A and B are shown apart, each in its own frame.
Chain A
Amino acid sequence: MALLEVKNLGISFGGLRAVDSFNISIEKGQLYGLIGPNGAGKTTVFNLLTGVYKPNEGIVTLDGKNITGKKTIEINKEGVARTFQNIRLFKDMSVLDNVKVGLHNKHHYSTLEGILRLPRYRKVEKEMNEQAMELLDVFDLAGQADYLASNLPYGKQRKLEIARALATEPKLLLLDEPAAGMNPNETQELMDTIHFVRDKFDMTILLIEHDMKLVSGICEKLTVLNFGQVLAEGETGEVLNNPQVITAYLGE
């Protein structure tokens, strides 16, 4: 069975039908792309999947469990993590602390234990530090662990956002335009990172992207969205050669 199964998802904002009967089915370990023109509703789909918006209709199933209409934090606990189109880091916190916030629900000690610095505080903090540093290492950020997140260069901020999302140990990772604002070298590096994440963490990834080089380079399957509706879906090669997709989005 597919890891993520979305059936007939829809939402309206006033008179605007932002997403209409949206279906998607993503297998475990897949690298899946969601593309389409600006305003097609791609980010709205992400917001529906992560509980930022409640869908008007449709069912979202993650790993056999119905997560439709749940709150963002519950959906995160079920195993969906995301990054944002406009980077949303905890900018006045250190790089290390950004990842440690991601680890928040995986490690526990009480408020009192934290204030009194009891042994469990030390033990758990040590575990968190080690785990966070491991993650930062993967993204080549370990050297900047005590920088403020806002002082990182753009490309590294994107990576930190992915690291933070992975810290919540998700089953499904949603990346919203990870290559936005990157130069070709950085994009190439990002493609390697995404591949690496998929292989190392055995991750299922759904990404929104406009950079066709990245999309054709790493996505195994694609869904094309136009005016809130699915225009085409299937293997990347097929979809990109679909005449309808070419007219609506790619251009002749």
Chain B
Amino acid sequence: MKMNKLKINKTAKSNFITYGIVIAAFIIVQILVSAGQVSSLMKGLLVPLCTYAILAVSLNLVVGILGELSLGHAGFMCVGAFSSAFFSKCMVEVIPVAGVRFFLALLVGAAVAALFGILIGIPVLRLKGDYLAIVTLAFGEIIKNLINAFFIGKDSNGFHFSMKDAMSLNMEADGQVIVNGPQGITGTPNDSTFFIGILLLLLTLFIVLNLIHSRDGRAIMSIRDNRIAAESVGINITKYKMMAFTISAALAGVAGVLYAHNLATLSAQPKNFGYNMSIMILVYVVLGGIGRIRGSMIAAVILTLLPEMLRFLSDYRMLIYAVVLIVMMLFNWSPKALEWRERYSPKRLLKKKQEAKEGE
């Protein structure tokens, strides 16, 4: 029974360290900002950093915990971003309090992304491995391209909708185009702040970490480890696959909300919502360690900051970036490196010191 307690304490401790890292990072950044040590370029990166960290953590729920390769994560982010931006833009006069409006936008973004998670999950989760990856990739692209084709306007008669162009909305003179096809949504209230980003990252971590260490989390992991055995002990495969996929999509939606409310103009470009983005998120997850939540968060931050920090190298920037990717990969996955990390981990060195002391 003692052993048992020890294990629970260990996960609690590990979770505590994860939250601690986030809070410490927030405090350090705040101190640096108030000391005037942070360039405006870096300040502009603070919210995106939180966005990418949330995306990485949420994708790890599907890739690392459920064990399915999804390449459509940017699609869910896109859905969350556009639905929430649409909501905020419509509500900007109705709800003047930014906090309330953002909170409601958050709910809208997460709910719509979750809905898409369910709708896409139903057909897609019947597939496995490479097939699942390719189909999710396709769905991600479909979402992005669909949004590029939407034109939605509002006038005194209510909402107008078209898939042709802004002219064919046939609005009254007082009409206002809200979603303008490829030009997206302009003038979303700028409600995201670094503080909100950190709060949302903590919320995401809280949800994912607590889910993993609960009854449902174990069921999800059992499917990853052995589907047939999971079924044989009565685990409902479809239910738990859908659960992981939907929660992951909702959290990607949250990242999208954060992203949308940080920009004056939101448009669905291949760069921000295309498969490049999905693959980038997957890179964070893989480099941070599949199934390791804290790792994905750290990898997302490092890999977002790195290109900016390497700006002074100009032409060699991407070369160094690639080298860092390879080194990170080795550091996290090569057996020798893992052995080395184990041997020189602070915990172990501390233990050794203690033992040596007791030996004396």
Contacts and interface: CB of A to CB of B under 8 A. Distances in A.
Contacts of B211: 111, 114-115
B231 A72 contact: yes
Interface stretch (A15-23, A57-65, A99-107, A227-235): A99-107
Interface in B178-214: 206-207, 210-211, 214
Given A76-B233, A111-B243, A93 B4 contact: no
Contacts of B6: 146
Interface of B: 1, 3-4, 6-8, 10, 206-207, 210-211, 214-219, 221-222, 224-226, 228-237, 243, 291
A200 interface: no
Contacts of A142: 3
Contact of B218 (A73, A82, A97, A115): A97
The 6 A-B residue pairs with the shortest CB-CB distance in the complex, in nearest-first order? A114-B214, A90-B225, A88-B229, A76-B234, A101-B222, A72-B231
A114 B233 contact: no
Contact of B229 (A89, A115, A121): A89
B229 to A, nearest CB: 4
A212 B228 CA distance: 28
B218 A84 contact: no
B206 to A, nearest CB: 8
B232 A82 contact: yes
Contact of B219 (A104, A116, A168): A104
Contacts, number: 112
Given A76-B232, A89-B229, A107-B215, 15 more contacts: A73-B235, A89-B225, A91-B225, A92-B225, A93-B218, A96-B4, A101-B222, A105-B234, A109-B215, A114-B215, A115-B206, A121-B214, A128-B215, A133-B4, A146-B3
A90 B233 CA distance: 12
Interface of A: 50, 52, 72-73, 76-77, 81-82, 84, 88-94, 96-97, 100-102, 104-105, 107-109, 111, 114-117, 121, 124-125, 128-130, 133, 142-143, 145-146, 164-165, 167-168
Contacts of A114: 210-211, 214-217
A111 B216 contact: yes
A169 to B, nearest CB: 10
B211 to A, nearest CB: 6
A73 B231 contact: yes
Nearest to A90: B225
A115 B215 contact: no
Contacts of A130: 1
A96, A108, A114, A121: which has the most chain B beta carbons within 10 Å? A114
A145 B7 contact: yes
Nearest to A97: B218
B221 A92 contact: yes
Main secondary structure of the interface of B (DSSP, over half): helix
Nearest to A129: B4
Given A89-B225, A91-B225, A92-B225, A168 B215 contact: no
Given A76-B233, A165-B233, A104 B221 contact: no
Given A73-B234, A89-B226, A102-B233, A96 B7 contact: yes
A109 B291 CA distance: 24
A237 to B, nearest CB: 33
Given A101-B218, A116-B210, A91 B4 contact: no
Given A73-B235, A76-B233, A104 B228 contact: no
A192 to B, nearest CB: 24
Contacts of A88: 226, 228-229, 232
Contacts of A105: 234
A111 B239 CA distance: 12
A168 B225 contact: no
Contacts of B221: 90, 92-93, 97
A111 B230 contact: no
A2 to B, nearest CB: 23
Contacts of B210: 114-117
13 contacts: A77-B234, A81-B232, A82-B232, A84-B228, A90-B225, A91-B226, A101-B218, A102-B233, A104-B218, A104-B233, A104-B234, A121-B214, A146-B4
A101 B219 contact: yes
Contacts of A125: 214-215
Nearest to A51: B231
Contacts of B10: 146
A88 B227 CA distance: 9
Nearest to B207: A115
Given A101-B219, A104-B215, A105-B234, A90 B229 contact: yes
Nearest to A84: B229
B8, B218, B224: which has the most chain A beta carbons within 10 Å? B218
B338 to A, nearest CB: 14
B222 A133 contact: no
Nearest to A164: B233
Contacts of B206: 115
B207 A90 contact: no
Contacts of A91: 225-226
B227 to A, nearest CB: 9
Given A52-B228, A89-B226, A115-B207, A168 B234 contact: yes
Contacts of A111: 211, 214, 216, 243
A124 B233 CA distance: 19
Nearest to B214: A114
Contacts of B226: 88-91
A168 B214 contact: no
A109 B230 CA distance: 19
